[in-house]
Chains A and B, each alone.
Chain A
Amino acid sequence: MSLLPKPQMRGLLAKRLRFHIVGAMITSLGCAVLYKYGVAEPRKRAYADFYKDYDSMKDFEAMREAGVFESVQPKNS
């Protein structure tokens, strides 16, 4: 019977903790970075672009003509 190599006897919990803590840090930071640059920044840009040339009165007149308001009627009726 050949001798097997001596297995790891100590530091098992420390090794597991290190692996998992490093992995958890990387995973959570990665999720945060992906969300920021995948979702948050495009959304902020979309809102800024929308409101840059937004004419609220023109939008209001369009909605009024479509007849969705109760306080004002379309101009021709």
Chain B
Amino acid sequence: MLSLPALRVGTLARRGVLGAASIRAAHGHSGHVATQEDMSVPHYYDKRSFPLPDVPYQKELGTEQKALKEKEKGSWKQLSNEEKVALYHLKFNQTFAEMNRPSNEWKTVLGGIFVFFGITGLIVSPLAVSPVFPPKPRTLTDEWKAQQVKRMLDMRINPIQGFSAKWDYDKNEWKK
């Protein structure tokens, strides 16, 4: 009974549509390579809370990049603006602005929450009206509740600002 939808979800998942990786990629989270990184050596990361990566972004430098690194060892006043930006991009992958950019992920999260609310409602609501619950206690019938209110008014419950304060004892009705 449950196998047919499970099979279809399986094919969808195999296509990567429902995968968490594809949803994360849709919101621009990881732009990572398909191969696994070697976790036994220090690796580069862009982290907002600790923006000090263990290694520079570009480890192997071409010839002009090596020349630029040599020029960096001198006085920085002789570097042009393009050279400074190039040196930055050797060291770091994303700028702070790119790293901290807002995304639309919250819409996906909220949408997923509501979808599951809906599914739960579809499952639960037939059960709520069906005869699975025992009869309600007699203290919840209207007759009992009216007698209870009368007794509370007779006892002058909260006569100053609360319950009995709203009852007009002379006219025997609720105050307008």
Contacts and interface: CB of A to CB of B under 8 A. Distances in A.
Interface of A: 1, 43, 46-47, 50, 59, 62-63, 66-68
B81 A66 contact: no
Chain B: interface secondary structure? loop
Interface residues of B, number: 9
B96 interface: no
A43 B154 contact: no
Contact of B151 (A1, A47, A50, A68): A68
Contacts of A47: 160
Given A1-B81, A68-B151, A68-B154, A50 B160 contact: yes
18 contacts: A1-B81, A43-B161, A46-B160, A46-B161, A47-B160, A50-B159, A50-B160, A59-B156, A62-B169, A63-B154, A63-B155, A63-B156, A66-B154, A66-B155, A67-B154, A68-B151, A68-B154, A68-B155
Contacts of A66: 154-155
Contacts, number: 18
Interface in B124-176: 151, 154-156, 159-161, 169
Contacts of B169: 62
Contacts of A43: 161
Contacts of A1: 81
